[in-house]
Amino acid sequence: MTVAVINAHMRPTLEGRLPEGVDPLWFKDVEQLLALAPRAEVAWLDMIAPQHAREAIGRMTGLRWYNAMSSGVDWLPLDLLRERGVRLTNGAGIHAQAVSEFVLMGMLTMAKGWRQVVRAQDRHEWLRQPPGTRELLDAQVLVIGAGEIGSRIAELLRAFGSQVTTARRHPGPGELGQDEWLGALGRFDWVVLIVPSTPQTTGMFGAEAFAAMKPGATLLNFARGTVVDQDALLAAIDSGHLGGAFLDVTTPEPLPQDHPLWSRENVHISMHLAGRAQDALLARGAARFLDNLERYRRGAELVHQVDLAAGY
C-alpha cells in the first residue's frame, strides 16, 4: 500500500480517481500535516506556506516521491531530497498558458498605455488621443528561458507578428546560448525572462545587461525576483535608458509598501499572480499527479521529474 499525504484542498478533485493500492491521508492544517508526515511515501503539499512544507519534508524519512504543482522548486530542500534519494516532479507546463497570457497582457498594457486609459476612465475623462501607439507586429523580442512556458510565450508572440528569438542553456538551431544573449541584447525591443531559479541564474540580469539593452527597451520578469539585480533595474529606469519594466516577481515578496519600484510610472508589478491566474490550475495539477501516481505504482519513469543537482 502506497501512503500519500495530500492537502485536503485537493480531495474533491482527487477522491474516487486514485489508483488502487494508494492510501490517501488528507491534511487540513499544519498540525495535521506534521503529525502525518512520518507516514508519507508520496506527498503533495501545495497551498501551504513554504516553511511548513520544508518542516514536514524534514519529518518524511520514508518519502520516495514529492509532487509540486509549481514550476520553480527553489523553495524546496533540494539537498535533503537528493540526499534521501527522493524523486521530485514539478508543474512545468501547467502554468504555460496563464503565464504566456500575462506576458502578452503586460506587453500590450505598456505598448498601448493602458494604465493611462484606466485612469482616465476613473476620472470620467474622454481621451482624444491614444496614450500608446506601439504594436507587437515586427517587434524584436528576446525570450530568455525556452522551456515549456518560454516556448508558449514565443508561439503566441509569433501569432501577433513579433520577431521572436529564444535563448537557453543548451540552444537549438536559431537560438542563442547562455554565452551569446548578453552580446545580442541591443537588438531587442522587449526582453522576457522566464529562466529557472538556480544559483547560476541568481543576479544574472544586472548592470551589464541593462547597459547592453537597446535604449527604450522593456524588460519583463516572469522568472524569480532574484534573477534581476533590482538596484541595477532602478538605476536603468531612473536614468531613462530602460523604457520600462513589467515585474510579476520581485525581491522580496511581498514587495514592501515603501519600495521605490511601486512609484515608478513605467514599472508595472503584477504581484506573482501570473501562474495562478487560471481556472484550470487545480484540474491540471490533479491530472498531472494522477498520471504520475499511476506511473509510480507501476515502477515507471515519472514525467516532469526535476534534476535535483541542476534545480529544474
How far apart (Å, rounded) are the C-alpha atoms in residues 101 and 114? 16
3-state secondary structure of 111: helix
Q: Is 272 a catalytic residue?
A: yes
- Please report, as a single letter, which amino acid is at residue 69: M
Catalytic residue among 155, 208, 253, 294: 253
DSSP string, 206-253: SHHHHHHSPTT-EEEE-S-GGGB-HHHHHHHHHHT-S-EEEES--SSS
Q: Estimate the share of the chain in helix, then strand, then coil, as percent rounded to the nearest 5.
A: 40, 15, 45
**Rounded to whole angstroms, what are the CA distances from 183 to 179, 188, 211?**
8, 11, 11
Residues 43, 21 contacting (CB under 8 angstroms): no
How far apart (Å, rounded) are the C-alpha atoms in residues 116 and 128? 12
Count of beta carbons in the 10 Å neighbourhood of residue 116: 14
Catalytic residue among 224, 268, 284, 304: 224
Count of beta carbons in the 10 Å neighbourhood of residue 296: 23
Cell of 151: 516556448
Q: Is 241 a catalytic residue?
A: no
Catalytic residue among 52, 241, 272, 295: 272
**Rounded to whole angstroms, what are the CA distances from 209 to 16, 58, 124, 213?**
51, 39, 41, 6
**Residue 6 neighbours by CB under 8 Å, 6+ apart:** 14, 24, 25, 26, 27, 43, 44, 45
How far apart (Å, rounded) are the C-alpha atoms in residues 20 and 290? 12
Q: Is 224 a catalytic residue?
A: yes
Q: What are the catalytic residues?
A: 224, 253, 272
